[in-house]
Chains A and B, each alone.
Chain A
């Protein structure tokens, strides 16, 4: 199985801050990396697929980058509605695996 390690597992930030979350995989997955946002009591929502492609309707303040084993999700200017938990997921091979999550909290 491909192991996914996200960091940090949690962070506190203020509205307007630039936030970066990292995902590292245990083996190279080219660009088969996806990012989700999950709010309490809700299903995950796809934000970015294939490393850097913004899902339809997702604000442009979200961006993704990386390749190989190291990937990044960036929120350029944190908004109140962005406080949530973010998960990475590899779609390179089965079993599909997810990172442990990164909780973005209000400072």
Chain B
């Protein structure tokens, strides 16, 4: 059974870079032909898609965050990662990694989610 788990610092200082990793278990990133995504949710607010990556490294980003976001994949570790630079308090959120239902689909419903990791931006 495929599982996703986010990890990384829970506290990041303003202007620094937020770095999170999603570890995939129960399946292989490199052979699965899925796009793997990052989604965030500020406290008490709705969901925002950050971006997605294919095992080949092909990426799609939300234009609202594109200048600050880098998503990468490490198939040898079965992980994909998120870096968000120059963070401010508005980047405080629960960050989820997720996988869409359909192989090869960048635009799709997400049927498998990690449990989420809370990141606070504060000095």
Contact = CB atoms under 8 A, between A and B. Distances in A.
A72 interface: no
A22 B73 CA distance: 37
Interface in B35-65: 46-49, 60, 62-64
Contacts of B114: 43
Interface string A71-103: 000000000000000010101111111111100
Given A43-B113, A43-B114, A94 B46 contact: no
Interface residues of B, number: 23
Contacts of B48: 98
Given A43-B114, A44-B113, A46-B111, A95 B46 contact: no
Greatest chain B CB density within 10 A among A91, A98, A100, A101 is at A91
A94 B116 CA distance: 22
A12 interface: no
Contact of B110 (A42, A46, A93): A46
Interface string B7-25: 0000000000000000000
Interface string B92-123: 00001010110001111111011110000000
Contact of B109 (A43, A49, A93, A101): A49
Given A94-B107, A96-B107, 6 more contacts: A1-B63, A44-B96, A87-B46, A87-B47, A89-B47, A95-B49
16 contacts: A1-B63, A34-B109, A43-B96, A43-B113, A43-B114, A50-B109, A89-B110, A93-B107, A94-B62, A95-B62, A96-B62, A96-B107, A98-B46, A98-B48, A100-B46, A101-B46
Interface of B: 46-49, 60, 62-64, 96, 98, 100-101, 105-111, 113-116
